[in-house]
Amino acid sequence: MARYLIGGWAAARWSAGFPFGTLLVNVTGSFLLGLLATLTTERFVSPNVRVLLGIGFLGAYTTFSTFAYESLQLLAAGSFGRAALNMVGSLLVGLAAVWLGVVVARLL
């Protein structure tokens, strides 16, 4: 539900010609995974809590399959620049977000 709501909000706020919703969900999910994985590992939280939050919520919240499908649709439509921006941007911004989550968790 969170992914759906954020995706709809992003589409209404910004252009529907670029998958901003999926990008936003995957980047925020990457940040949260870096934060939660670091906090739960370094603070020795129960493995069940780690699985519930990491796989349960964040696994359902983020979406690699939608990212791949939307990238393919951009390519099929001939929007090569947008497709490249989506693919490279998602990877680089996602990596930066997970790194930032780890850094923030270690500062807490």
Mean pLDDT, the chain, rounded, equals 90
Residues 6+ apart with CB under 8 A from 74: 18, 19, 80, 82, 83, 86
pLDDT-derived band at 49 (thresholds 50, 70, 90) equals confident
Model pLDDT for residues 51-92, shown as the tens digit of each residue: 888 888 888 888 888 999 999 999 999 999 999 999 999 999
What domain range is 63 assigned to?
A: 2-107
Q: What total number of domains does the chain contain?
A: 1
Q: What is the DSSP string of 34-71?
A: HHHHHHHHHTT--HHHHHIIIIIIHHHHS-HHHHHHHH
The total number of residues written for the chain in this structure: 108
